[in-house]
Structure 1
Amino acid sequence: MARQCRVTEPLLRALRELRSGFSPHSKAEVQSVLEGGAGSIVSFRVLRELHTLLRERGSDIYLHELLDGSEIYIPVVELPKRNPELVARLEKIKAKLANEEYKRITKNVTSKSGRLGTLSDFGREVRPLKKVIITIFNFLVTIAAAFACTYIGTQYIFTESAARVLSSVIVASLVGLAELYVLVRTMEGQLGEL
């Protein structure tokens, strides 16, 4: 935060005229500013005292007129030199983290340049197809078993074959729809985990 400003000629004249009215701890700073001349730096505390003195004396000069043309002085902050050992450690850590991130991203990428692939690669590629085939086979067996059980079970209820087939188709359709619902929910859950 700025606490100082550069002095202009009108401000210097006012400080010369009112130098005797300043408090003892501000007189030394006023004296150094007067010795430094225009362009030297004065604190806002001295400017507040100057403003108070001007009001007490009933001066027709206002503080903003004295500050016209002056600029706020902001000291240049020098950043401390960084420790070379710390910089070297930080660079090592950054390189290590970048390498770990690269390995994490590329862990499931295999290069297939110049070779046909190993048996484990083939097994990895066939495994999802095997799951799909087993799921479809299970679906068809479930529907066929529901149809057969209903057809055999309805022989005690219906004497006609058309009624038995119709009731078997209805039950097999309901079981198929339930099986599809469970299958879709399972696949949705597996896709959500990816």
Structure 2
Amino acid sequence: MASSLVAGERLIRALGPGGELEPEKLPRKLRAELEAALGKKHGGGDSSSSSSGPQRLVSFRLIRDLHRHLRERGSTLYLHELLEGSEIYLPEVVKPPRNPELVARLEKIKIQLANEEYKRITRNVTCQDSRHGGTLSDLGKQVAAAFVCTYLGSQYIFTEMAPRVLAALIVASVVGLAELFVMVRAMEGELGEL
């Protein structure tokens, strides 16, 4: 939060010998505080390297005191004229280092939440869920449907009954084995979670 400003050349000249504030007869304490603030070096450099950082910091309290004194005396010198070329000093905010334990805990929680989200999303991916029961009856229905579909569809290829039944049995066996394989893998995965 800003609490001071970088004094511009106009304020420095006004406070110097023969400057605009000379006839205003500033109180000794206020003049001393202003001179001390303008003479102080901040930012680690001499006055020639003003680009490296702020050189002369004047607190807002001192500026208010100067303004009050000028108003009490009825001065024609205005504060905004004295502050011409001055800038508000905003100190760089230094972030405190993060606690490594907190960072590790946050990462652990993120991973846990991601795993829970993944499980929630993939919960209904397999249609063979043994908890709902009826998987064997579904297997029988699917094999029977494959047999009937192949038997009826093969009448356009084969004219005799034996090849049609044989083709239907082969397709039904393949479908049954595939479904059985998927069902066993699903059960194996559920048993692994326990």
User: TM-score under structure 1 normalisation?
Assistant: 0.51
1:75 counterpart (71, 80, 91): 91
Alignment of 1:21-100 (within 5 A): 21-22=26-27, 24=29, 29-36=33-40, 39-100=55-116
- The structural deviation recorded for 1:27 is 5.8
- The structural deviation recorded for 1:12 is 1.8
* C-alpha RMSD over aligned residues: 3.3
Structure 2 segments unaligned to the other structure (5+ residues): 41-46, 129-133, 142-194
- C-alpha contact (below 8 Å) 1:29/1:42 kept by paired residues: no
Change (3 A) 1:121 1:83: farther
Moved more, 92-101 or 35-44: 35-44
- The structural deviation recorded for 1:121 is 7.2
Task: Kindly provide the CA deviation profile for residues 75-127 of structure 1, in whole angstroms up to 9, marking residues without a partner as x.
Answer: 11101000112111110110101110110111111289xxxxxx727639x7x
- 1:5 aligned partner: 5
Q: Percent identity?
A: 53
- C-alpha contact (below 8 Å) 2:38/2:57 kept by paired residues: no
Q: Does the alignment pair 1:120 with 2:125? A: no
- C-alpha contact (below 8 Å) 2:2/2:88 kept by paired residues: yes
- Distance (Å, rounded) in 2 between the aligned partners of 1:73 and 1:122: 79
- The structural deviation recorded for 1:21 is 3.2
Higher relative contact order (CA 8 A, sep 6+): 2
- C-alpha contact (below 8 Å) 1:5/1:41 kept by paired residues: yes
- Distance (Å, rounded) in 2 between the aligned partners of 1:72 and 1:88: 40
Structure 1 segments unaligned to the other structure (5+ residues): 113-118, 127-194
- The structural deviation recorded for 1:32 is 2.4
Task: Kindly provide the CA deviation profile for residues 9-48 of structure 1, in whole angstroms up to 9, marking residues without a partner as x.
Answer: 2212334446973484x56642322313784111111101
How many residues matched?
A: 119
Amino acid at match of 2:6: R
- Distance (Å, rounded) in 2 between the aligned partners of 1:122 and 1:21: 101
- Distance (Å, rounded) in 1 between the aligned partners of 2:36 and 2:77: 23
Amino acid at match of 2:38: L
- C-alpha contact (below 8 Å) 1:5/1:71 kept by paired residues: yes
Amino acid at match of 2:13: R
- Distance (Å, rounded) in 2 between the aligned partners of 1:32 and 1:44: 14
Alignment of 1:101-116 (within 5 A): 101-110=117-126
- Distance (Å, rounded) in 1 between the aligned partners of 2:105 and 2:67: 54
- Distance (Å, rounded) in 2 between the aligned partners of 1:63 and 1:122: 92
Amino acid at match of 2:36: S
Task: Kindly provide the CA deviation profile for residues 152-182 of structure 1, in whole angstroms up to 9, marking residues without a partner as x.
Answer: xxxxxxxxxxxxxxxxxxxxxxxxxxxxxxx
